[in-house]
Structure 1
């Protein structure tokens, strides 16, 4: 966090909005958990609850994201003294608010709740997946534009293309991560033979979280942190659009992994596996 300006570290946290983010986000997250439990009983699968909890638990790795993307949660009072945040731990010098877990559930697990079954049954098309991606980007932008606009946290890096104070590229990356996680989660759901196998979603989430943000997002991360004369606003602009373009490619690729409807017959002419081939599989 060596590049962080002192005025960011001493910026006053808006206590009213801290309360709103904490209580409202946790109320929504708890409602999502209850819905996941209801769906477990109704459909006899813990898929939804595993997806929700996997997102919530993964928020413990949020400090890694904060360092890479220059995110700072405000923690100072009106005099600039730290300690104003309702926090549960700190890492890499970044104090973490306790609503990061509820925020992860809201932003990253919602698609599993409202579209997971549709994906599982092969009823979601490529066009539908892109529509969900767009909706998730809008949701992310709305959630974070408020948070960064009312002095709860900030992306202090030299970003371009901001919405209010919120970098648009972050919203595109978050929408991409949400879709990639849900598609992978549904693929796992289709392949496990026992409910316990769905606990692998706890490993799948960080794989897609950091694969999307640190992999697809690597151009913008590097552009933001170039040293001295190597840094330029033009490169940040270029990296912003390159990252967004890679996100489009990632969603297009993910659409190829959408389950097919069970009534669809495989194309004629494909070889039928022999019994020996089946054993090898």
Structure 2
């Protein structure tokens, strides 16, 4: 007989509290609302831009990929547990709880807007066809943009990375830079490749492809990070070593992508349909 007291179901006491994360910090309400409105403005502007591109420019890509951020948001709680990222106990309007912490409306709006915007920017640059040098410049640009976007939230305590995170830049773990840069670039590239053949109702798959791109990146370069942060009693030097392994894996993945898709690569793949826009 199944005993739900040992394995609580959704809605029962204990469900969503499977991790030892301590959500005990309180964020200043003005900081939380400030970040919410900034992210909300980014989100609304992107939606307006998506409608404009669809109606005026006959470009449906931003419109049909507009749901990608919300899809990614619902997996964010699981990732937070793995990297010890906690949301404040007084998060704005919690939509649900996962891993013992609230996933608030402000966080959802921010994730929805920023994740979608960064993926679209990567797509727009990549859709023109990039040389090897420009591929790497785009990768660096995305990493820098990620840092600029994330630092205010970390500094204001809107979310906190707990424990030893090895190298931080103004409180923001450096490993997120190469993971997010590679993930967003790969997400945009998948849209470039698949968009020409996704017609009709299949256009909504443009919202799913970025999540696939990030899953590929996370599955490769995030494993050493998760090990570094969660294996008990690791010496700090070995945590740094695992972070370097993560960086090396991200760079190897990028090198492979550049070799396959840069317009000046001698090993460039041939796609049986036109993927670059003139």
TM-score between both structures, scaled by the size of structure 1: 0.80
Preserved CA contact (<8 Å) 1:220 1:243: yes
Q: Which residue of 2 aligns with 1:255?
A: 258
* Residue in structure 1 matched with residue 37 of structure 2 by the alignment: 23
The answer to which structure has the higher helix fraction is 1
- Alignment partner for residue 247 of structure 2, among 244, 248, 268? 244
Which stretch shows the higher mean deviation, 106-115 or 240-249? 106-115
Alignment size in residue pairs: 252
Q: Give the Cα separation in 1 of the matches to 2:184 and 2:100.
A: 27
The structure with the larger Rg is 1
2: CA distance, partners of 1:145 / 1:118 = 25
Aligned to 2:47: 33
Contact 1:177 1:208 (8 Å CA) reproduced: yes
TM-score by length of 2: 0.81
Paired residue secondary structure (2:160) = strand
Matched, 1:94 2:101: yes
Deviation at 1:93, TM superposition (A): 1.3
1 CA distance for matches of 2:57 and 2:260?
A: 23
User: What RMSD, in angstroms, separates the aligned Cα atoms of the two structures?
Assistant: 2.7
Of 209-218 and 104-113, more deviation after overlay is shown by: 104-113
Q: Which of 195, 198, 202 matches 1:189?
A: 195
Give, in whole Å, the separation in 1 of the partners of 2:56 and 2:200: 14
CA distance in 1 between counterparts of 2:218 and 2:254 reads 14
- Shift of residue 43 of structure 1? 3.6
Structure 1 segments, 4+ long, off by >3 Å, are: 1-4, 111-115, 256-261
Q: CA deviation at 1:23?
A: 0.9
Structure 2 counterpart of 1:235: 238
> What is the correspondence of 1:95-134 to structure 2 with a 5 Å cutoff?
95-122=102-129, 124-134=130-140
1:146 to 147, 152, 157: 152
Unmatched runs of 5 consecutive residues or more in structure 2:
1-17, 273-278
Say whether 1:158 aligns with 2:161.
Answer: no
Superimposed CA distance per residue, residues 229-280 of structure 1 (whole angstroms, 9 cap, x where no aligned partner): xx1111110111111122122222222443759xxxx99xx9xx9xxxxxxx
Alignment of 1:60 onto 2:74: yes
1:205 to 197, 205, 210: 210
